[in-house]
Structures are given as C-alpha cells and as structure tokens.
Structure 1
Amino acid sequence: MAARSIGERLKEARKRRGLSQRELADASGVSLSLIRKLEQGERQDTRLETARRFASALRIPTSHLIPAEATDAEAAVGPEADRWAPVRAALAGPARDDVEELPTVVGVRTELDSAIALYSEGDLAGIGEALPRLIRDAHALAEHDPRGRALRMGVMQIAGRLMTQTRNYDAADTAFDRAERDAPDTLHGAALANNRVWLLLRRGRLADSRALAIQWADDTEPGRLSRATAGELSAWGWLLLRVAATASRDNRPDEAEHALRLATAAAVTLGRASTSATTKRAGFIRRYSRLTVAMQQAEHAMVEDRPDAVLRLADKIRADKLPPTTGNRNRHLLDVAHAQVLMRRHSDAVGTFLTIEEDAPQWLPHQRYAREVLGLVVRRRRTLTPEMRRLANLVRLPL
C-alpha cells in the first residue's frame, strides 16, 4: 500500500476538524491556492515551515502531515555539489594500508585542531581543501595505532558537519556512520547524536530527528546536576536544545518549553566555566552557556511566529557583541532578520544580512533560510537597493 502524500494527510486532518479549504487558509496564513494544489496532488511537498503552519491551525503535530518517506530537502546538486567531490571521495573510499610514511598522533591531532578552527571561522573552502588529506591520514593512523581511533572519530565528525552544512547529505551520513564505529564512550556518542539530529533536521526528517534527540537527552541526563562534569552538562544541554528545536517544528510547544527549561538548568549549573570550556575531542566545537539557550528560545519564538518576542530576546543577547565566527550566532541573526522583516523593519533586516555577509560570507550562501527571509524582503519592496540585489545573488535567490 502506497504511503499517503502530504496532500492526502492534510485533507483528512482538515475534514476531521470540520474546516473548509478557505477556513484552513485563513487559520494558517497559507494561500488557498497552495492548499488546493496539495490536496489535488498537483504539489507533492511543501516547506517544513508551511507544514507547521497547517499543523498549528489543525492542532496536530507537524510530523502527522509529513510522510516518513519524504525526500531530502534541497540537497546540493550540480556545481554546488561538485566543489565538494574530493571530500566525498575521501569519505567513500576504503581505508588504505599502503601509506609510505605513517602519520603520527601529534600530527593528526594538530591537523584536526586546524580543521576545527577553519570550520569555526567559517572558512568552508579551506576545510574542504584540508579534509581529503586529513581523512586519509586519520584512516592510516587508526589502522596502526589504537589512539588514532578517537582522532578519526573527530575527523569524521567535522567532515560530517561540513557535508551537512553544504547539503551533501549522503556524504554526511557516511561520515557519521564511520564516526560511530570509533565512539569510545557515551559522551562521544552524545556528540555524534547531536550532529545526527542536526543532519536529520536539515533533511526534513522531523519525526526521526525528534526521536533521536529525545532518546539521547534521556540517556545523557545526569543523575545529579551538581556532580555532573562540564562535558556531561554540555552534552546534555546541546541535546536538550535539539529536542526543543525539533519539538518547535513539530508543533509541540509544551515539549519545546520543557526542554528549554532543562537546558537553562544545565547552563546555570555549568556556570562561568562554560564561557571558555569546549570539549573538542568529543565533537562539541561550540560553547554552551545561557546565551546559547537564549538563542534557541529566540528560534522557538520565531518558529511560533512571534517576531516581537524574537527581537526582545535579541536585545538581551546582543549577537553583534559575540565572536563573528560563532555559527550559532549567525543562525540567530537570521532569526533576527526574519523578525525584522515581519515587523516591517526592512532596512534593519538588510543591515543584519550585511553583518552576516561580512562575518560569514562562505556560510551564508548555503542557508536556505537566508533565501526564504531575503525573498520576503524582495517581494515586499517595490524597488531594490544595490545591497539587496547583491545579497539576493549571494544567497542564490531564484529570479
């Protein structure tokens, strides 16, 4: 029996709620035309954000509308995918044991630290150039020295993150599968789960990403927060933020808010040490603090279409004062720009985009969210400034 399409699921839920197509359009803020095309089978899918609007109006989880067999959301194709072919080839190739000069633990660790720095700085081209050699070296070391397995896991995690960021989803899966074989303990497993949830969410696999986040958040919850290590608190906190992110998109606001409360408790317990503590060897290459939680709270508010709340939180976060290399900070700024557009502060939104462009010019073109937000600006303006036109080209906004 063929799986029901999103249009069939939408029609069934709408009828169960006793709504006409026009009433659903009014309640969800989605065009009547799109609803008709989905229900009549003229359109086979829609954006996750649109599905959530339907779910909110129908008072059901978003995942009830999305077929489990849904295809990946906008994977990289053509020249955009070709530029990462050397990394994909290195990930897909077998480990080689014919290396003339065996890498050392110190050498691979130094290369890995450099790769992490390149990723954190947003130098995607630089890490893409460095990774093929690093992957080969990590394989060679791990085959000859047990200490190399943990390093190879770190290499595979950073490779998987790059592939996720650039929408090479199958290659990211390969990297994370290889990382899983080398995971030495629960903390490393939690780091890998954190990355896998992000990959699943980027792919639009909402139900799978939520289930994985909840499973690992439950498994890593410390027995007593006061006795937990910084690594344990950071791992648990990040997984709670993943729970909140997936729950928000699945129209489960109570679940999202509960996860955010627990994430706040983890950040408070972690305390001042979180401002400088990272656990690179376990795959957590970003800081975890109350500020991190506040950014997720802003994202939750944006998913729920509360732009005023986003901007109130942004005033407290002051992302412009944070290091420009923080990827989480750049994602938060896209929420700020989105909120500014919805509040008709278009000039402010363009200014926010210009800040992101200046700090993360290689990161911005890979963000579908950036295209969606900038598309709102373009549609709402009669004429475009030179900056708007340049940004539209940068994020590859369709003509």
Structure 2
Amino acid sequence: MPELTLGDRIGQIRRRRSMTQEELAERAGISADVIRKLEQNRRTTAAIRTLHAIARALEVETSELLKQGVDLDNEDNGDAARLLELRRILTPSLAEIQSAEEPPTNDKLRADVLAATRAYQNARYRNALGHIAVLLSGAEAAASARADDYETRRIVTYAYITAARTLIQLRREDLGYEAVRRSLTFAEKAGDEVLYATCGDAMNWILIRQARFYEAEQTATKLASVIEPRISSRDGARFGTWGRLQIQASTAAARNNRPTQAAEYLSLARTAAARVDGGQMSLEPYQQMFSQDIVSAIEVESALVAGEPDRALGLVESLQIQRWEWGSTWERHLLTVAEAQVANKNYADANQTIMEVREQSSEWLVNQRLARRLVRDLLDSRGVRWARNTGLADLASEMKIAV
C-alpha cells in the first residue's frame, strides 16, 4: 500500500467524518484554500499549529496526521514525522520499551546495513532514514538475542554508525549523539579498537558542529593515540582511521584559532595518507574514505578559516584535487571553494560552484547551514534579476529563503 502524504491523510479522515473541505476549514479556523492545497498535494508541509487546528477539527490526535514521510514546516526547526520511529528507538518512553521482535539473521542485518549505507553515501537521506528505522529495530533485537556473538556486535555497531552519520547530516545532533553512544558500546564489546575509533569519528563531527572545538581536538588526539599504527605496519585501515582523526583534530584546532597545531595535525595526516595502499583508503572494512586529496581539501578549508581566501583559492588551483565518489566529501569541498569565492567577491564563480553542488546532490545541499548562509550572502550582494537568471532564486525557494 503506498505511503500516505499529509494531504492524503487529512482528506481520508475528513471524508470519514463526512465533512466538506469548507466545513473542515471553518472548524479549524484556517483558510479553505490551505485545506485544498494540502489535500491536492500542492502544499506538502504545514506548521505544527496548523496541524493542531486541523486535528482538533477532525477530533483526532495530531500524531494521527504525522505518519512517516510527513514534514513539518521549517519554522518548527525542520523537524519531520519520519524521525518519530527513530526517536522511539533511540529515546524511548517507558510506554515504548517492549520485548524484542524476532531477531534478523546476521546476513539479513548486514544487507540492511548495506542498503542504508548506500543511501547515505549517495546523499539520499530520506531514503536512508526509511532503511534505518527498520535496521535499528532489527539490530536491537539481534543484539539482545545474540549478545555474545562477535559478528553481531560488529554489524550492530555499523548500523548505529550509519544512523549517526545520517542524523548528523540532517542536523539532528541529539539523536546522532545517542546513536554514536550506542555504537561505541557495541564496538567496545566487539573488542575492535579501530572500529571504536571509527565511532568516535562521528562523535567528533558533532562536537565540531556544536563549536566545542577544544573537546573535539582532544577527543580526536586521544582516540588517535590508542590506534597509532607502527611505522612498519601495512594495516591500511588503521592508518586511514588514524589519519582521519588527525584531520578532525586539525579542523577543530583551525576553528579554535590554533593554526600551528592545525598544520601539525595535517602533516601527520599526510604521513598517514602516504602509507595507505594506492594513496586511498579502501571503504572496507570501516566504511570511511581517506586520501591525499582529502588532506589537501582540509588544507584549503584551514586557509579559509584563517581568513585567507586568496591562499585557499590558490591551493585549489595548485593542489589540483581530483573529484571523489564517496559520500558528500566532494560536495563539502566545493562549498568551501564557494565560501572563498564569496569572500573574494567572485559572486558569479561562487554561484556556479554552488549550482554544481546542487546538480550533484540537491538533498545534501539544502541541509547545510553553510550553503544557506552562502545563498543569503549572494542574494544580498546581487540583484533579484541576476538571482532569477542564474538559478539562485530557484535554489533559495527550495531552501525556503526569501528572495
């Protein structure tokens, strides 16, 4: 059965109440045009106060309208009903704590992790959330039924890492933090210190987003010290994970106005990248990417953070960073380039760079705070006609930014 939209659900309940659209609008105290647009799916979101009014008029609980896939307006901080199932799993109420379902096999659980991870890597976050809600429910059941099984612990760890990364991208740090915490617990039980450090990788991005730069730097260096590889080691995954932690420490230090330390961490990251086979970390077994190009991209970002957009753009040209095909790392680099271009008042170039990101990953772009800020800066710097002719006005509308 196809998933109901918000408008489908309102229309369904309205008809069961034998009410016309005009009667529902009058009882709810809102415009009949709003009801029509919702039911015709010409409007797909609604403010929470509007939903409350409609629910009261229909004599149902508001949650009856909030089925999976129904969004709330951005004024409600971009929250979405599709997160309700994840909230019930990650932050359950006493009423929602219940006996586990039939646990999936490790093969089934592994396949579910792969499906969710692929959706995340391709920046299809709505699709990923659909997989993750089912995945975590099965992971909890499997962990309970096979508490001593090493492979189950590892797969459950991956499930929570993927959930955390997706939630962080959607700016849901509260849920992401809980997912990271659970992943750390299972990684520790699995006895895999590199896997544990991989979980900490996600934790650090939350700290950086919260401007807890010193804590992020210290966490990254602490985890790196635990898994520091021997010079003679050929363990590419260990070198890659260690190198990623150095990048995080560098990013945090740069944002905390510690340029000397940031440069030292980047130097260590370059050393690690040189020890990874082929210059690029394999995506297995820890589902992470690390390479010399990524270190170079962070160097560009550090120059920009230091207030040197000219040097940042010069590095882009001199380093000749190649496009990579995993996750949103490349798109993030392009946003950094656009930020430097805006800082140098190269507005046309910045707009072109942002449009390249939009073409590659529109869903990722609209969830980025930096992207929203850059679009606002461009709108403030150029005229409305220019914004319309370049596609910026359309993007601003998609982001719900007034032109």
TM-score (norm 1): 0.75
Q: Match of 1:248, as an amino acid?
A: A
Alpha carbons 1:244, 1:260 under 8 Å: kept: yes
Deviation at 1:221, TM superposition (A): 1.9
Greater mean deviation of Cα atoms: 163-172 or 124-133: 163-172
Give the secondary-structure state (helix, strand or coil) at the position aligned to 1:362.
Answer: helix
Change (3 A) 1:157 1:96: farther
Change (3 A) 1:191 1:321: closer
Deviation at 1:273, TM superposition (A): 5.8
What residue is the counterpart of 2:206 in the other structure?
199
CA–CA distance in structure 1, aligned partners of residues 111 and 193 of structure 2: 24
2:244 to 224, 238, 245: 238
Give the secondary-structure state (helix, strand or coil) at the position aligned to 1:366.
Answer: coil
CA–CA distance in structure 1, aligned partners of residues 402 and 231 of structure 2: 49
Unaligned runs of 5+ in 1: 1-75
CA–CA distance in structure 2, aligned partners of residues 255 and 361 of structure 1: 35
What residue is the counterpart of 1:87 in the other structure?
86
CA RMSD across the alignment: 2.1
Deviation at 1:96, TM superposition (A): 5.4
CA–CA distance in structure 2, aligned partners of residues 326 and 161 of structure 1: 10
Deviation at 1:309, TM superposition (A): 2.1
What pairs with 1:1-399 in structure 2 (closer than 5 Å)?
78=76, 80-83=78-81, 84-93=83-92, 97-99=99-101, 101-145=102-146, 146=149, 147-183=151-187, 184=190, 185-222=192-229, 224-272=230-278, 274=280, 277-280=282-285, 282=286, 285-316=287-318, 321-323=323-325, 325-383=326-384, 384-386=386-388, 387-397=391-401
Q: Match of 1:332, as an amino acid?
A: H
Alpha carbons 1:371, 1:396 under 8 Å: kept: no
Alpha carbons 2:87, 2:175 under 8 Å: kept: yes
CA–CA distance in structure 2, aligned partners of residues 377 and 336 of structure 1: 14
Alpha carbons 2:323, 2:330 under 8 Å: kept: no
Q: Match of 2:363, as an amino acid?
A: Q
Alpha carbons 2:293, 2:322 under 8 Å: kept: no
CA–CA distance in structure 2, aligned partners of residues 397 and 256 of structure 1: 34
Q: Deviations over 1:282-317 (max 9, x none)?
A: 3xx332110110111111011112212222222355
CA–CA distance in structure 1, aligned partners of residues 210 and 395 of structure 2: 25
Q: Aligned residues: percent identity?
A: 25
Q: Deviations over 1:162-187 (max 9, x none)?
A: 11111112111111111111112210
Count of aligned positions: 317
Change (3 A) 1:96 1:318: farther
Deviation at 1:385, TM superposition (A): 2.1
Change (3 A) 1:338 1:152: same
Change (3 A) 1:341 1:311: same
Deviation at 1:393, TM superposition (A): 2.6
CA–CA distance in structure 1, aligned partners of residues 329 and 264 of structure 2: 21
Alpha carbons 2:236, 2:277 under 8 Å: kept: no
What residue is the counterpart of 2:37 in the other structure?
none
Give the secondary-structure state (helix, strand or coil) at the position aligned to 2:131.
Answer: helix
CA–CA distance in structure 2, aligned partners of residues 274 and 320 of structure 1: 12
Unaligned runs of 5+ in 2: 1-73
Alpha carbons 2:266, 2:299 under 8 Å: kept: yes
Change (3 A) 1:86 1:317: farther
CA–CA distance in structure 2, aligned partners of residues 142 and 125 of structure 1: 26
Q: Match of 1:91, as an amino acid?
A: L
Alpha carbons 2:357, 2:365 under 8 Å: kept: yes
Deviation at 1:274, TM superposition (A): 2.0
Alpha carbons 1:225, 1:266 under 8 Å: kept: no
Give the secondary-structure state (helix, strand or coil) at the position aligned to 2:298.
Answer: helix
Give the secondary-structure state (helix, strand or coil) at the position aligned to 1:81.
Answer: coil
CA–CA distance in structure 1, aligned partners of residues 235 and 75 of structure 2: 42
CA–CA distance in structure 2, aligned partners of residues 242 and 180 of structure 1: 18
> Looking at both structures, which has the greater relative contact order when contacts are Cα pairs under 8 Å and sequence separation is at least 6?
1
Deviation at 1:343, TM superposition (A): 2.1
